[in-house]
Amino acid sequence: MSIGAAPSGPITEFGTVEGVGMGRVTHEPGGGPPRSRLARLWPWSIVLLGSLYFLMPLIGTVRMSLRHNQGASAAWRLILANEDLWPAFRESMVNGLATIVVSLLVIVPTAYWVTLKLPKLRPIIEFITLLPFVIPGVVLVLALIRLYSAPPLLLTRTYGSTRLVMICAYAALSFPYMYRAVDNGLRAIDVRALTEAAQSLGAGWPTILAKVIFPNLKVALISGALLTFAIVMGELTIALYMAQRTLAPFMADIVRNKPFEAAALTLIMFAVTWVALGMISFVTNRAGKRR
């Protein structure tokens, strides 16, 4: 293949341009010369190995879900008939979406600002974003209750207000992941150039963030959103102490003494969450293409 003189072909998400790359938008499988069969072996082997590792425990869980003493499908029937499952699931889903929004709104401008204007502050900001790892969940929720439940704040007075506090706490828990994903995304684009270009066209900060930065960070934002969603769906301790009826407390109840139903539930939640994330991914991809 030759580079340079060949005319560039269409640039698409799937891209494959053997000619001059036109910047970061091409996603070129290979990013280089056509692969030999041997060279393709590596990626396939790795993916296969990974898939094996990921699938084995799930298969073990399937086996467990079929061992209910009332019959192979009993665990599945019982858990699907449990009328508390879907309300709890819906509640967690809404919490997840809300958390993603809050997290994005806080982290993206911050990461952008730090990258652009305050790089010296980066270690401190990163340290703060990693705090969720070292504060035990019980300690965090009880501290939040201690700090914000007393008069005059009374932030946990009602179920709804507690839910909002919890969503904000979840957003804080998502900071390590969201910040890292966004930071990586920002590193991959030339933030300074983009900003200066936008500014020279007369854009103000909100416009720059909304119309320049966010769209260019799409992959990073999806990563961060997926991670945040997973955290919210699985978070247990805070929901328990804040008396919220989300999915994880429901799951904990089942796990406690119904191991076969718990296995079935794990798989159901796995599948449903996977599909939900797939849809989010699909929708955001299509929205990107329309642009």
Question: Contact letters (x/-) for other proteins, 203-222, by CB under 8 A?
Answer: -------xx--x--x-xx-x
- Tell me which of 203, 253, 268, 284 binds other proteins, using CB under 8 A: 253
Does 54 participate in binding other proteins (rule CB under 8 A)? yes
CB of 124 to other proteins, least distance (A): 9
Question: Contact letters (x/-) for other proteins, 159-188, by CB under 8 A?
Answer: xxxxxx--xxx-xx--xxx--xx-xxx-xx
DSSP 8-state code for residue 155? T
- Tell me which of 8, 71, 86, 117 binds other proteins, using CB under 8 A: 117
CB neighbour class for 4 (10 Å; exposed up to 12, middle 13-18, buried from 19):
exposed
Q: What is the Cα–Cα distance from 215 to 85, expressed in whole angstroms?
A: 36
Q: Tokens 């709890």 — which residue?
A: 88
CB of 200 to other proteins, least distance (A): 18
Does 264 participate in binding other proteins (rule CB under 8 A)? no
Which residue, 66 or 80, is less far from other proteins as judged by CB? 66
Q: Which residues of 142-155 are buried (b: 16+ CB within 10 A; e: fewer)?
A: eebbeeeeeeeeeb
CB of 198 to other proteins, least distance (A): 14
Does 127 participate in binding other proteins (rule CB under 8 A)? yes
Span 65-94, contacts to other proteins by CB under 8 A: 67, 69, 91, 94
Does 115 participate in binding other proteins (rule CB under 8 A)? no
Q: What is the Cα–Cα distance from 90 to 95, expressed in whole angstroms?
A: 9
Which residue, 25 or 201, is less far from other proteins as judged by CB? 25
Q: Nearest-CA neighbor of 232 among 135, 85, 95?
A: 95
Q: Is the distance from CB of 169 to CB of 144 less than 8 angstroms?
A: yes
Identify whether 34 is preceded by a cis peptide bond (ω within 30 of 0): no
The piece of 78-86, 114-122, 196-204 that touches other proteins (CB under 8 A) is: 114-122
- Tell me which of 35, 72, 73, 288 binds other proteins, using CB under 8 A: 35
Output the six-digit token pair for 173: 């828990």
The piece of 77-85, 153-161, 194-202 that touches other proteins (CB under 8 A) is: 153-161
Q: Count residues near other proteins (CB under 8 A).
A: 146
- DSSP for 23-43, please give it: STT---SSSSSPPPHHHHHHH
Residue 269 one-letter amino acid = M
- Tell me which of 56, 72, 197, 283 binds other proteins, using CB under 8 A: 56
